Amino acid sequence: MFLISSGEPLESGDVRGDAGGDESSVLVAVRVRPLNSTERSQGDQGVLCCPGQGTILVNNGAQDRAFTFDAVFEAGCSQHEVFEQCGVKRLIDLATDGFSCTVFGFGQTGSGKTYTITGPQSLVSSFST
Ligand X SMILES: Nc1ncnc2c1ncn2[C@@H]1O[C@H](COP(=O)(O)OP(=O)(O)OP(=O)(O)O)[C@@H](O)[C@H]1O
Which of 42/96 has CB closer to ligand X?
42
Short-list 72, 47, 76, 78, CA closest to 61: 47
63 is in an annotated binding site: no
Which listed range, 3-11, 59-67, 92-100, 102-110, lies at the site for ligand X (CB under 6 A)?
Answer: 102-110
Amino acid at 65: R
Hey, which residues between 30 and 49 contact ligand X (CB under 6 A)? 33-34, 36
Q: Which of 128, 88, 92 is nearest to 4 (CA)?
A: 88
The answer to whether the Cα torsion of 101, 106, 1, 127 is positive or negative is positive
Instruction: Tell me the window of 1-9, 64-72, 91-99, 110-118 that interacts with ligand X (CB under 6 A).
Output: 110-118
Task: Enumerate residues 58-87 that contact ligand X by CB under 6 A.
Answer: none
Distance from C-alpha of 24 to C-alpha of 37, rounded to nearest angstrom:
38
Amino acid symbol at 29: A
- Asked if residue 110 binds ligand X (CB under 6 A), the reply is yes
What is the radius of gyration, based on Cα positions, of the chain?
16
Say if residue 108 carries a ligand binding annotation.
Answer: yes
Stretch that binds ligand X, among 12-20, 45-53, 64-72, 112-120 (CB under 6 A): 112-120
Summarize as ranges the residues that interact with ligand X (CB under 6 A): 33-34, 36, 107, 109-115
